[in-house]
Amino acid sequence: MASVAITRKNHLVSSLLYNIRCRSSYFRRPITTSRLSFTTSTSTSPSPADTEIPVSRTKFLEVFKEEFEIGSRLLTFETGKIARFANGAVVLGIDDTKVLSTVCSSKGDGVRDFLPLTVDYQEKQFAQGVIPGTYMRREGAPKERELLCGRLIDRPIRPLFPAGFYHEVQVMASVLSSDGKQDPDVMAANATSAALMLSDIPWGGPIGMIRVGRIDGHLIVNPTMDELNLSDLNLVYACTKDKTLMLDVQASEISEKDLEAAFRFAHPEAVKFIEPQLRLAEKAGKQKKEYKLSLVSERTMNKIRDLTETPIEAVFTDPSYGKFERGEALDKIAQNVKGILEEEGDEESLKVLSKTVDTVRKQIIRKRIITEGFRLDGRRLDEVRPLYCEAGSLPGLHGSALFSRGDTQVLCTVTLGAPGDAQRLDSIVGPPTKRFMLHYSFPPFCINEVGKRTGLNRREVGHGTLAEKALVAVLPPERDFPYTVRINSEVMSSDGSTSMATVCGGSMALMDAGIPLQEHVAGLSVGLVTEVDPSTGTVNEYRILTDILGLEDHLGDMDFKIAGTRNGITGIQLDIKPAGIPLDIICESLGPAYKGRLQILDHMEQEINAARVQDGKNSPRLVTLKYSNDDLRRLIGPLGALKMKIEEETGARMSVSDGALTIVAKNQSVMEKVQEKVDLIIGRAIEVGGVYKGIITSIKEYGAFVEFNGGQHGLLHVSELSHEPISKISDVISVGQQLSLMCIGQDLRGNIKLSLKATLPQKTKKPDPIKTSSTPVEEDLPRQQEPQNSTSYSATSPIVIRSAVECDEEEKLSTLISSVKHNNKLPRVSKQKSSSQKPKSLKSSSNEDELDCDSGLLLSKKTKGVKPFLLTEKRTNSGSNYTSSEEEEEEEDHDKHKHTFANVVDISDFFKDRESKVEETSIDAKKLKLGTKVTAKIVQVRARGLVLDLGGGINGMYRFEGGGKQNFEVGSEVRVQCTSFNSKGIPVMSIVQDD
């Protein structure tokens, strides 16, 4: 057994050594390639071990770079390092932001009648060092921003592919790294242009794309994201060396003259991208392939033109045709030609029939517009289609509007939301949220077709974003209108420029929702028809068309969408079909667009020209309340459970921010229900006269205790239950019952006093004709039929009731006054206001005394004639029902010892003033005494006297002297003096004449 084991071991060792020798001899073989080179590191005196171990190899990549400077920023084109198998791949870098763009083309024959170009732009979260927050921690479907950036790349490169090139082309741009300073969208477009130049795909580039901003009137090239926040212009400009390809503008009411200056400033800056691409293509570019172009032969074109030219011209010269009638007539012509070709057996012409007929239509329309200056529907070149505007078409919504221009009709609705409803953006640059959203929808029925509704559509996202840019410039600032706004645009029928109709309808819907817009915004699309010299490409003749139809958009050269107010432009989007348009023609198009915009604005302002006031019971409500963060935490509850429960029960939406609660309700009843639930949880500031809903917690023989306003407690005394005497409290209320109670003040201990009868209507008693009074008050104001123009008045005056403690204080004060007058002493005291005069809550004790430091007199607050307590602060400790907190007691003690008098006054005058008259401050029952003079307001003029308003909620009466009625008017003021009180405690006044 041992010999067998040794033999196996030797065999394994020998086989291992053999394998090592084979590998070492294999790696010493030389390898040669065209683009890659490998080297082996060897020592001068190799050891036996070195000859047996394989040596690592190093791979060298051939990298090409082009560096250039634009606007004091260094940019770099780089190719050859990554994505080597792509037909063309370029990395463009600015600082720490790098974008990769690749292009590939299919290898098929490309037998189609259109160019299948696909542009995909992607921003993955690794570019900013973040893991996606989705459940799978992966990037999902393309976001709106990615679709918009893909359109931004597609629009300038598509016109430069040669006619008849119908091979499938795919562009994929992705952000490799981002520092958040530079928007990668423009970088991706320039990298795509460079990648197309390096590939073997036929293309008429290169192009240059630049972003321009304006801060304080100064134009800035390649602005950073921080600079864009301060800029009133965001212009993206793409061009070839001498022609414009694409425009995308978001502005804050910039005039046409300033915008033209920005265009002419951006063109030479964008051209700076072209030369580095040409140099890079010379170093690393591929030879362009000869692709098969799908072109129509001259014989087929002439044959189909002869068959269709006359009937097509007859259709186009008849302005009575509508969109669908015209389309049916043109389809009928194509079907007739198809029947003729089938009879002849011309298969070649049948394959290209549709494309050839469309070309004939295009030639006829363009020739008629250039030579005669007339359009399909008989309008002049600068004429706008008939308009129809209607605001508030759906009254149950926050805001709505219906806008029609010709056969194009759009329904726009507005929905208001809380700040928490703002859209969250996962972009690697820009703001994290968006509070204004415009969603554009193009259903199939608007063009009488059958289709399927899918997810995000590039066209819908692009049109909606254009309208959103145009309207965001006139929204009120966020500090004045912090709510989230969503506009939903539904295209009802489409015949050209539905995105600009969305701008008009959205502006009216915003005003119908009560949003105070700065100005109305309107938009329309401007078209272009040119006659170009085929040999030189020079434009010989052109016509600018205002408010183009759908067919004019399809057969024309330009779709120039311009939106703005009377003051300037807010949004622009330019799409073209030829390989560039001269900038002078584009600038000239701004004039007709301005004239057409003014016509549309006139019609919109006639329908609605100011923000509508929503005052209906069924109109949606939105309110923002201020609370402390501790109260808001109580409202939200653990993990937001309490807040979600309220939202489920009421159907309202609540949004919580720092110190603010925003509630959005469908109508006023829902709003009241939500506020009631919020008040029960966190309460609100208590005020005298305020009505609060509370629950009876316990019943005593003298009254009931009520929990209200977020856990605070108050006393409902038996005397405040009803206007009628009550023998048993349990006959009126019960534990757990919910009541609406009014706060009427506080007792001597600072406890909150509530009243039920103050919320109930008071029953009026008929006067007894037999009953007389010893005082003239009972008879001097009998109830009688008042004139029609008299002011109705019904109120109860408070009865002057003083406790024993107050009577003792009054007696002490009168003794002190008489002593001072008898001794004729005039002590001097200083009068100084407290440095901090804070409103006191109901917890403040009302029986505290203050010590006058100079006179040494102990003066009670009851003798000072203070105003009734105003309940302006809510209780912070719901458990302490009848005692103030330690902090409030310390604050009151501090204020008590700081309270001195600053000015030297005569103390006898001081007491005299308190006895005889009340200054400009409001009077109350405790201040009103015999001999008090006040200025009263006449409330009613009756047969025997006057009803007077003495201020502070006190009513008095004046009896006409001699029984005769004098000339008095309701609302006039008279100077009166208190002479007596009747049995009900109502003061009886007499008119006095002050010196």
pLDDT tens digit string along 439-490?
A: 999 999 998 888 887 777 889 999 999 999 999 999 999 888 888 899 999 9
Instruction: Give yes or no for residue 606 having a pLDDT over 90.
Output: yes
At 692 the pLDDT is 83
Measured torsion, CA atoms of residues 923, 928, 933, 939, in degrees rounded to the nearest 10: 60
Which is more confident, 664 or 239?
239
Q: What is the pLDDT of residues 16-31, one digit of tens each?
A: 444 444 444 433 433 3
At 992 the pLDDT is 82
The whole-angstrom separation of Cα 809 and Cα 859 is 9
- Which of 168, 528, 221, 181 has the alpha carbon at shortest distance from 381? 528
The whole-angstrom separation of Cα 409 and Cα 394 is 16
Which is more confident, 519 or 932?
519
Share of the chain above pLDDT 70, in %: 75
Q: What is the DSSP letter of 977?
A: E
- Which of 624, 685, 692, 615 has the alpha carbon at shortest distance from 658? 624
At 596 the pLDDT is 95
Least confident of 261-270, 595-604, 688-697: 688-697
At 802 the pLDDT is 42
User: What is the rounded average pLDDT of the residues 89-114?
Assistant: 88
Tokens of 510: 């915003």
User: What is the rounded average pLDDT of the residues 755-771?
Assistant: 66
Q: What is the pLDDT of residues 91-100, one digit of tens each?
A: 999 989 999 9
At 865 the pLDDT is 35
Highest mean pLDDT among 76-80, 831-835, 971-975: 76-80
Query: What is the three-state SS of 384-416?
Result: CCCEEEEECCCCCCCEEEEEEECCEEEEEEEEE
The whole-angstrom separation of Cα 859 and Cα 281 is 98
Count the Cβ atoms, other than its own, within 10 Å of residue 597: 24
Q: What is the pLDDT of residues 630-648, one digit of tens each?
A: 888 888 988 889 999 999 9
Instruction: Give yes or no for residue 508 having a pLDDT over 90.
Output: yes
Which is more confident, 673 or 824?
673
Instruction: Give yes or no for residue 260 having a pLDDT over 90.
Output: yes
At 849 the pLDDT is 40
Highest mean pLDDT among 473-482, 838-847, 870-879: 473-482
Q: What is the pTM of this model?
A: 0.68
Mean pLDDT rounded to a whole number for the chain: 78
The whole-angstrom separation of Cα 507 and Cα 524 is 14
At 812 the pLDDT is 54
Instruction: Give yes or no for residue 846 having a pLDDT over 80.
Output: no
At 687 the pLDDT is 77
Q: What is the pLDDT of residues 28-45, one digit of tens each?
A: 433 333 333 334 334 444
Instruction: Give yes or no for residue 829 having a pLDDT over 80.
Output: no
At 730 the pLDDT is 82
At 76 the pLDDT is 95
Share of the chain above pLDDT 90, in %: 37
At 173 the pLDDT is 97
Least confident of 178-187, 478-487, 612-621, 795-804: 795-804
Least confident of 233-247, 275-289, 951-965: 951-965
The whole-angstrom separation of Cα 434 and Cα 419 is 10
At 923 the pLDDT is 57
In one-letter notation, the amino acid at residue 674 is V
At 919 the pLDDT is 39
- The alpha carbon of residue 829 and the mean position of all alpha carbons in its chain are separated, in whole angstroms, by 60
Beta-carbon contacts of 658 under 8 Å, excluding residues fewer than 6 positions away, are 629
Q: What is the pLDDT of residues 727-744, one digit of tens each?
A: 788 888 888 888 888 988
Confidence of residue 64 (pLDDT cuts 50, 70, 90): very high
User: What is the rounded average pLDDT of the residues 918-922?
Assistant: 41
DSSP bridge pairs for 103: 88, 171
Q: Starting at the earlier edge strand, list the strands of the sheet with 621-626.
A: 621-626, 660-665, 653-657
Count the Cβ atoms, other than its own, within 10 Å of residue 634: 16
Q: What is the pLDDT of residues 426-440, one digit of tens each?
A: 888 888 889 999 999
Confidence of residue 983 (pLDDT cuts 50, 70, 90): low
